[in-house]
Amino acid sequence: MRLHPLHDGTSPSSEPNRRPGNARTRPGSREAATTAFRLPLTPREIAELVIREADRADSAEARAEALKPDAMAWRTLASAEGDYSVGDAAKLLSRHPAIEIGMIRLFAFLELHGWIYRDKGDGAWRVYQAQIDAGRMAERAQSHRHPRTGELLIDPPQVRITVDGLKYLSRLFDASLPLEAIER
């Protein structure tokens, strides 16, 4: 039995205006194949489409607004190369309105979370190898010349935070950023 494209044949009072995409019409079904053309939209359907698109646009704008701090931080970080001293890293992190931290608190945080430790020999800060391997921290060799003898003396290395480490910390400190977005 061949059906008319505007009528599904289930009963005389069934919907004569069924369109593809309707909740009761599955793509690829016989009914969808027979209703390949689309009638002009009614004013109600046009209004529903406009409202749906306005809601979608509002949702997209809200997502973009939520990502602005992360994008700002990314632009700042992506333009940089190398690594930063802990003091400089604290200053960069503090530029974000949701993060309040200074050098002393950042050192305490890094020690508490197992990123750095105090060397027993000279008492200087050192980086755990796991953080170096993860690309979050580095150590920079330091030296100076003795003021009287001019002899070159090796100093303890300086603890440095890499760009990846700074991105990781910015996400940890900012509760508004999703933690699943943390890299590594």
- Write out the chain's pLDDT in tens, 184 residues: 444 444 444 544 444 455 555 545 555 555 555 555 667 888 898 899 999 999 999 998 888 888 777 666 656 555 556 889 999 999 988 888 778 899 999 999 999 999 999 999 999 999 999 999 999 999 998 888 999 999 999 999 999 999 889 889 988 887 544 434 334 3
- pLDDT for position 40: 83
- pLDDT for position 160: 95
Residue 128 to residues 24, 99, 119, 132, Cα–Cα distance (Å) = 61, 25, 11, 7
- pLDDT for position 147: 93
- pLDDT for position 24: 55
Q: Considering the entire predicted model, what is its pTM?
A: 0.53
Domain layout of the chain by residue ranges: 83-181
- pLDDT for position 7: 46
Say how far apart CA 101 and CA 92 lie, in whole Å: 10
Residue 135 to residues 104, 122, 140, 151, 160, Cα–Cα distance (Å) = 22, 25, 14, 34, 11
- pLDDT for position 66: 80
- pLDDT for position 32: 52
